[in-house]
Structures are given as structure tokens and as C-alpha cells.
């Protein structure tokens, strides 16, 4: 039997209050983590998701400390404050899921430059800043046999060029972070930190629900697996990448879209 787990680990998940980040947080709580730290801009969302994760732990007989720290990771000073606040709450950090992301869709003529800045500040600069800040703690936690993990939440748009919604900054940012992950995998691997990217296709969430509704059935019909991504798909992939068994996997961009990107359809986010 192969038991994929994160027993005894402390995981930090940016954007962990809803959507894919919350799916990851739940997977860690249920599969052995000692501590899960989440962050997002809204203090209320942080408190509500903290309560939800604490209840999940309690209901399932898990002993997992939940920490929620509001911060805007598109702002450099806030990233630093988030890191400092996390350091006060945890003894170590084994896993960093750089998941928080934003998007903006508007055709070229109407695409505000401020939107480009907004998206890139979070999706690239915020990701880089978190990795830079947490790298020393991750290095301290990692071992040769079981390295610390960084997983960047990229997107299949980092692998293909399909954009009908005018998500110029988003697509560029995801291509950028997928490359950043490969770059850092080579640099941090020798420091016992692996860096991998997940490239989801369409998963229902606040970010994607509008596009999924607008696209209608085509997104499912054009998908080789004939469905959208689910919470379980995300949880299985993140657990695997963060499990001891995946310690030799470094620098990959793992598509998680049922194969939709291979036929250029469905997966446009």
C-alpha cells in the first residue's frame, strides 16, 4: 500500500481562504499536517476559513493547528509582514503553496495598464517574494530524503496559447511563474527544496465561475475526460507532490486538466 500523506508537516498556503487554495488546505488537514497557515486579503474570509478548517480537523479527529493571517501579497511590505507573522506562529515551514492569484479580462483596446500591474504584482512578484522570504525556513526543514516543497499554482495557459477573454496579464504571468518554478528548482534543489508547478485547467471557483458559465457546454464537451476539475483532483495532485514519495520530482509543470490543453480546447484559464 502506498500512503501519500503530509504527516507532521507545516504548510503555508497563500490564497488559502477559498477555491483551489482551500482545497489544498483541507487536503493537508485531513492527511496528517501538524499546522496549516492560510492568508488572503480579507480578514473576515481568513477567520471564516480558519473556523471551517478547525471544524474539519475536529470532526475528523485530526490535531492540526490552523493559522490565518490577512495580507495583500501584491504589496511588498505586506508579504514581509505575512512572513514575520507566520514565523511567530510556527516552529518550521515544510511546504509553501504559492497559490494566490488574480485575473483580468478585457480586449486589447480596453485593457487598462493598471490591470496588468495588478495581476503581475500578485501572480509573479508576490509569488517570487513569498518564495524568497520563506526559502531559508524551507531549507531548514528539508532533508536529502524528504526535501521541503514549493508548489506554484500556475495554469495550463502557461502551456498553450488560447485566450478569448483578453487575459493578457494573466496568461503572461502564468507562463512567467511556470518558468520561475523551473529556474528555482535548479537553484533550490541542492538546498533540499523542490519546486514544482501545477497547471490546472478549469476548476469551479470564484475566479473561474464566470468564464465557465459563459463558455457553457463546450468546456466539458471539448475535454477528453468530459468534465471540469474537482476538489478531489486538486487534493490528489497536491498531496502527491508534497508527499515523501514525490521527493525526486523537481521542476515539473504538471497539467491537471483531463488532457484538455492537448486539443487546444476547454482549458483557457
* Residues known to be catalytic: 170
The answer to whether 117 contacts ligand NAP (rule: CB under 6 A) is no
**Residue 257, SS3 per DSSP:** coil
- By CB under 6 A, name the one of 31, 86, 194, 208 that touches ligand NAP: 208
Distance CA 191, CA 142 (A): 8
Distance CA 140, CA 92 (A): 8
Candidate segments 37-45, 139-147, 215-223, 235-243, binder of ligand NAP by CB under 6 A: 37-45
- By CB under 6 A, name the one of 9, 18, 149, 268 that touches ligand NAP: 18
Q: Which is nearer to ligand NAP, 179 or 191 (CB)?
A: 179
Candidate segments 53-61, 66-74, 129-137, 244-252, binder of ligand NAP by CB under 6 A: 66-74
The answer to whether 238 and 153 are in contact (CB under 8 A) is no
Identify the helix (H) or strand (E) that includes residue 37: strand 35-39
**Beta strands 65-68; 35-39: pairing state:** parallel
Distance CA 155, CA 227 (A): 17
- By CB under 6 A, name the one of 10, 74, 197, 235 that touches ligand NAP: 74
Q: Which is nearer to ligand NAP, 149 or 192 (CB)?
A: 149
In the complex, least distance from residue 92 CB atom to ligand NAP, rounded to whole angstroms:
22
Residues contacting ligand NAP: total by CB under 6 A? 30
The answer to whether 45 and 53 are in contact (CB under 8 A) is no
The answer to whether 206 contacts ligand NAP (rule: CB under 6 A) is yes
Residue with cell 493578457: 168
The answer to whether 266 contacts ligand NAP (rule: CB under 6 A) is no
Candidate segments 12-20, 55-63, 135-143, 179-187, binder of ligand NAP by CB under 6 A: 12-20
- By CB under 6 A, name the one of 200, 258, 265, 266 that touches ligand NAP: 200
The answer to whether 99 contacts ligand NAP (rule: CB under 6 A) is yes
Strand order in the sheet with 148-153: 65-68, 35-39, 10-14, 95-98, 148-153, 193-200, 253-256
- Work out whether the CA dihedral 132, 129, 38, 239 comes out positive or negative: negative
The answer to whether 19 contacts ligand NAP (rule: CB under 6 A) is yes
The answer to whether 192 contacts ligand NAP (rule: CB under 6 A) is no
Count of CB atoms situated within 10 Å of the CB of 183: 12
Positions in the binding site for ligand NAP (CB under 6 A): 14-15, 17-21, 39-42, 45, 72-74, 99-102, 122, 153, 155, 200, 202-203, 205-208, 269
Amino acid at each position: 500500500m502506498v500512503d501519500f500523506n503530509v504527516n507532521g508537516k507545516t504548510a503555508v498556503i497563500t490564497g488559502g481562504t477559498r477555491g483551489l487554495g482551500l482545497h489544498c488546505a483541507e487536503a493537508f488537514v485531513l492527511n496528517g499536517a501538524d499546522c496549516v497557515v492560510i492568508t488572503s486579503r480579507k480578514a473576515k474570509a481568513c477567520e471564516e476559513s480558519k473556523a471551517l478548517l478547525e471544524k474539519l480537523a475536529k470532526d475528523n479527529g485530526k490535531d492540526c493547528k490552523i493559522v490565518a493571517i490577512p495580507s495583500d501579497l501584491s504589496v511588498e511590505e505586506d508579504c514581509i509582514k505575512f512572513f514575520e507573522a507566520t514565523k511567530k506562529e510556527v516552529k518550521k515551514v515544510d511546504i509553501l503553496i504559492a497559490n494566490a492569484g488574480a485575473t483580468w479580462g478585457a480586449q486589447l483596446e480596453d485593457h487598462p495598464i493598471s490591470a496588468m500591474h495588478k495581476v503581475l504584482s500578485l501572480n509573479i512578484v508576490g509569488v517570487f517574494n513569498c518564495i524568497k522570504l520563506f526559502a531559508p525556513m524551507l531549507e531548514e526543514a528539508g532533508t536529502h530524503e524528504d526535501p521541503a516543497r514549493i508548489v506554484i499554482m500556475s495554469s495550463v495557459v502557461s502551456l498553450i496559447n488560447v485566450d478569448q477573454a483578453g487575459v493578457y496579464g494573466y496568461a503572461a504571468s502564468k507562463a512567467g511563474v511556470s518558468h520561475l518554478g523551473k529556474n528555482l528548482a535548479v537553484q533550490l534543489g541542492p538546498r533540499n527544496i523542490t519546486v514544482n508547478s501545477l497547471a490546472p485547467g478549469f476548476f469551479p471557483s470564484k475566479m473561474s465561475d464566470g468564464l465557465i458559465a459563459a463558455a457553457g457546454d463546450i468546456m466539458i464537451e471539448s475535454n477528453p475526460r468530459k468534465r471540469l476539475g474537482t476538489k478531489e483532483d486538486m487534493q490528489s495532485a497536491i498531496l502527491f507532490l508534497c508527499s515523501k514519495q514525490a521527493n525526486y520530482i523537481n521542476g515539473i509543470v504538471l497539467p491537471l486538466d483531463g488532457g484538455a490543453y492537448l486539443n487546444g480546447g476547454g482549458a483557457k484559464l
